[in-house]
Every structure is written in structure tokens, then in C-alpha cells.
Amino acid sequence: MKRGTCILVALLLAAAGPLYGQGKVLSQAGKEFLRSSYKKASFSVGNIRVKLPPPVMNKHGKDLFLSHLSFQLDAQLFPRACVKNNARITLSLKRFAQNYEKFSRQAPAVASLIKSRVVKGALPYGEFLPKELNTLYIGEVHDIPGLANEVRSLVRMLPQLYPNRPIYLATEFLPADEETPFSLGSVITHPRDIARRLKGVKRHTTPVLYEALKAGIGVVGLEEEYALFKKVWQETHTFPSEQMYMDYATSFVGMRFRNQAWARRLRALRAAQSDALIVVYAGFGHLGYHYDSNLPRLLGKDAFVMLFTTPDYLSYNNPFFRYFRESDDILAQFRSSQKAKLVESWKKDTPLKKIMGADMAVILHSK
């Protein structure tokens, strides 16, 4: 890429800010949809008519609009990618309907397998995490500083929980070094290199990266921003605007493109350090078992997925959380202090976690 083009790309990426910090702006039709009750049993995904069972549409039509339909691409701007994106949206909608059927049959069993606990001090992560673990996935809801602060606490404990093991924090929240192939020599071990890579962009997640370095944990940037920019350019045959870049990055095909790029770097890291504990820190939409193209599925082998969220976002993380209500005692404990943390974990390993999305959830107050 020519120098002039590189400067333009850098300016665009700086203006766009973190990929994860952007939300979808709903159209007027979208706003009207959310204000209404959806009575039909199908969605229009481009030229595809997706028919779902009435119970799914009646109970989760609005959820699916937010999580699927709002991530369609403009067919004029993205003619090829739009077709692929619509196909992935369609497949995901059908998969949700299948999961709904499974969940409906087993909901009582799911509730009986979940253990809830309220902690008001430091959370004893050692009581929840597996003793033997190769890859830990930390998924968060973006732009909530309190969640990042709790992740810092977990990262700080990792060397004590997994002594005598090399540990790496690989993260969405730091651009990757795209100029050279990955090697252990490119792992960041000094704070100035994080500052240099971020180029002055302020993110609520950055203290987590510094905490990792402080704990002796090397940091690996995963986000291939220039590769993503070039992909958008190839798809649109024009210099991408900030909105075009963001729309593709958060679409179903864009998320798959990014996760596949991350997976390549994580495989290279694993090949270079086979005995390491690799901690992947990213948005939950990249990591949850129930999401399309999630990293645990792409990478295979052992995985432990954690969700850091707040009560307001639980149903967005997974609509099936709507069907659970904690006991009055647990709710009273959680509401008694703004510092209280609600931890939900499985009493035993179960394939049902693939539907719910995580092995463990840490729920904090919104403020």
C-alpha cells in the first residue's frame, strides 16, 4: 500500500475508533418494528424469506431483529458480500429456532444445573476456573468500564492460579502487527509498545492490557485493521467511509472474517508456545458458544468461556436468559450493594452450555 494511502487509512481508522464501540442506528422502519408486536412467522433477509415457528417469532422477533436483521449489508454497496451475509443470517436464524426447540424442552433441566452465588469482595476465581486449562476466553459487553475493572482483577490473579506456565493475553482491543508474520518476538512486553500501537486512541479496556504486563503476561494484538480495510475496499471497489468500514466489520461475514484472522494468529501463538495458557479477551459476540463463527469453534480443543455483563445486557447476550429468575434470596443479596457480583456457573459439564453460550457468567451492576 502506498504511503499516501496508508495515511488516509490511518486517519479513517482513528476516526472510526474501536470497532466494538459502535452501535447500530436503527431506521424509522426498525424503530416502528421494535415498538410493535411482530405477528408474522417470517423475516425477509434480502430476497430470502425465512419462516420461523410462531412461538419463536412471537417471543423473540424483536430480539432477532436486533441480533440479526439489523446487521444486513447494503446490497448496492456490498453486492457480493451482501449475498453471503444474508445466507449466514438465514442459517443463524434457523439455528436459533432449533436451539429454541431444544431449550424449551430442557429449560427446567438447565435451571437446575446452574449454580448462583453473590460475592461482595474479591471474586475467588480459582474456585470456578478449571485446574487444567489451555485457552481461557473472556467475553465482555463493550464500553462498560466496571466490567473492564473486574477483568483486571481476574488477569492479576492468573499467574497465581496457573503458576510456572507462560501466559499470554491475546486481545481484540489492540491492533495486530500486520507488517511481519507472527512470532514470539512480536509479543508486547512493555507499556510503551501498547501506547504506540493504540496511537492515542482511548479505550476503557486499555488498563487491562497494562495490568497484564504488570503481572508478567505478554500481550498480543489480534485486530487486523488494515486487512479489514482492504477487504472492504475490495468488496465495494471504492475508498471506504467510516460507516462502510463499521457496517462490514460488524456484519456476519465481517465477524467471520475477523475471527478467522484472529484464529490464524492464535494458532501461530499455540504452535510457538504449546504449553502456554492463552487468554483471549474480546467482545462476547466473538466468543460465545452460541454465536456463528465463534473462536472456540474455530480453534477447537479445550475452552472455557466467561461472560462479563450487566443485568441490562443479559437478554442481548442471549435471549434465553429471559427465562431465568434468581431466587428472592440471591436477588436481595445482589441488590444490597452496588459492589455485589452475581456469579452463575454450571454445577457440572453439560452440552446445554453451547446453547446458553458460556461456562460462567459474572454479572455486575450497570453503575
Q: Tell me the pLDDT tens digit for each residue of 10-34.
A: 445 544 555 543 344 444 444 444 4
The residue ranking higher by pLDDT, 192 or 1, is 192
Q: How far apart (Å, rounded) are the C-alpha atoms in residues 11 and 239?
A: 13
* Average pLDDT score, the chain: 89
Average pLDDT over residues 41-55: 89
Cβ pair 310, 144 in contact under 8 A? yes
The span from the CA of 86 to the CA of 151, in Å, is 35
Cα(318)–Cα(346) distance, integer angstroms: 16
User: How large a percentage of the chain has pLDDT more than 90?
Assistant: 76
Among 37-51, 199-213, 329-343, name the one with the lowest average pLDDT. 37-51
326, pLDDT greater than 70:
yes
* Higher pLDDT, residue 310 or 17: 310
Confidence at 39, pLDDT banded by 50, 70, 90: low
Digit-coded pLDDT (tens) for 73-98? 999 999 999 999 999 999 999 999 99
Q: Tell me what the mean pLDDT of segment 61-71 comes to.
A: 93
Q: What is the pLDDT of residue 227?
A: 96
Q: How many CB atoms lie within 10 A of CB 179?
A: 7
**Chain-centroid distance, C-alpha 120:** 26
Q: Residues 289-306: pLDDT tens digits?
A: 999 899 999 998 789 999
* 299 vs 114: CA distance, rounded Å: 26
Give the position of cell 469453534.
Answer: 297
Report which listed range, 9-23, 48-62, 210-224, is most confident. Answer: 210-224
pTM of the model: 0.91
- pLDDT surpassing 90 at residue 42: no
Secondary structure of the chain as H, E, C letters: CCHHHHHHHHHHHHHHCCHHHCCCCCCHHHHHHHHCCCCCCEEEECCEEEECCHHHHHHHHHHHHHHCHHHCCCCCCCHHHHHHHHHHHHHHHHHHHHHHHHHHHHHHHHHHHEEEEEECCCCCHHHCCCCCCCEEEEEECCCCHHHHHHHHHHHHHHHHHCCCCCEEEEEEEEECCCCCCCCHHHCECCHHHHHHHHCCCCCCCHHHHHHHHHCCCEEEEEECHHHHHHHHHHHHCCCCCHHHHHHHHHCHHHHHHHHHHHHHHHHHHHHHCCCCEEEEEEEHHHHCCCCCCCHHHHHCCCCEEEEEECHHHHHHHCHHHHHCCCCHHHHHHHHCCCCCEEEEEECCCCCCHHHHCCCEEEEECCC
Answer yes or no: is pLDDT of 324 > 70: yes
Contact criterion met (CB below 8 Å) for 214 and 233: no
pLDDT at residue 210 greater than cutoff 70: yes
Q: Which three cell numbers stand for residue 312?
A: 441490562
Give the torsion sign (CA, 84, 89, 90, 94).
positive
pLDDT score of 332: 95
pLDDT tier, 209 (very low <50, low <70, confident <90, very high otherwise): very high
pLDDT at position 72 over 70:
yes
pLDDT at 8: 44
Predicted pLDDT of residue 352: 87
Confidence band (pLDDT; 50, 70, 90) for 225? very high
The answer, yes or no, to whether residue 215 has pLDDT greater than 60, is yes
pLDDT > 60? residue 358: yes
